[in-house]
Structure 1
Amino acid sequence: MADPIMITRSISIDPSEIEESFVRGSGPGGQNVNKVASAVQLRFDLANSPNLSEPMKRRVAALAGSRLTKDGVIVITSNSHRDQPMNRAEAQARLVALLREGAFPPKPRIATRPTLASKKRRLEGKTIRSGVKKMRSAPPADD
């Protein structure tokens, strides 16, 4: 049995949850591209994964975007390398990075007020810019 894939210290997924299929890839490889299925299409059933909590599944689903199917399956395709093992490793690394990013809730933003000095700097900058634009205009007509 293969070792579990570690996402964080406390979260891991079983390799049997990942389904890989190999397809012919576009890109570098010359005539080799036409003969060998070196691109990998990795599928991970996010909705039915027993090792992930529901809040984490929601965060990962939001991060996955168009890579998530209606059935809750994440599809990652890798075809940037000429050989299968490198494409497989890259696709798996991208899945782990996606899951790792969704593992922790985002830190809430704390609203802050601008300082008095920053307000003054902003208004001084606006005054200078206003002066530059006034100098560009045509001089007033003297009657």
Structure 2
Amino acid sequence: MLTVSRSIVLPETELTERFLRADGPGGQHVNRTESAVELRFDVAHSPSLPDAVRERLLARRDRRLTDDGVLVIQARRFRDQSRNREDARDRLVEIIRAALVVPKARVATKPSRASKERRLAGKQQRGKIKQSRSRSWSSE
């Protein structure tokens, strides 16, 4: 069981772990041990996630999310398989906790009269600068 919050607990059956050989330091030992972990979690079909959280997770533009709605996390930070397993699970929990937060709705506002006037004054100023350049070129 992986506890994300009081209301969300992921059973082990929903997590798929695959162990692979990690690159990086480790000498000859690194060629024989499968210390890297690939953790897969099916966001789209998970019964443990509330619908709102599932929608927010699927709406994220995350390269770790496949087209089928499976979140793939690779952990190869450590030389030890157990630490990489723990790291992958911690990262999964962080991602789901981030999706628990409901984003604030953006309130559309109109630009103030003074900001409109400043914008137009700036445009007029730029126009005058460009006009003065064109006149200097034509006199030569």
- TM-score, normalised to structure 1, is 0.74
CA distance in 1, matches of 2:132, 2:28: 65
Indicate whether 1:114 and 2:111 are aligned.
yes
Task: Write the distance in 2 (CA, Å) between the matches of 1:130 and 1:33.
Answer: 65
> How many residues end up aligned between the 2 structures?
139
Structure 2: gaps (5+ residues): none
Partner of 1:45: 42
Helix, strand or coil at the partner of 1:92? helix
SS in 1 for 2:19: strand
How far is 1:31 from its partner? Answer: 3.4
Aligned to 2:56: 59
The structure 2 residue matched to 1:93, chosen from 90, 95, 109, is 90
1:1-143 → structure 2 map (5 Å cutoff): 4-63=1-60, 65-69=62-66, 71-137=68-134, 139=136, 140-141=138-139
**How far off its partner does 1:16 sit?**
4.1
Q: Provide the C-alpha distance between the structure 1 equivalents of 2:5 and 2:119, rounded to a whole number of angstroms.
A: 44
Kindly report the root-mean-square deviation, in angstroms, between the aligned alpha carbons of the 2 structures: 2.7
Q: Give the Å deviation of 1:85.
A: 3.0
Say if 1:26 and 1:111 are closer, same or farther in 2 by CA, change over 3 A: same
Q: Are the aligned partners of 1:67 and 1:76 in contact in 2 as well (CA < 8 Å)? A: yes
Secondary structure of the residue aligned to 2:139 is coil
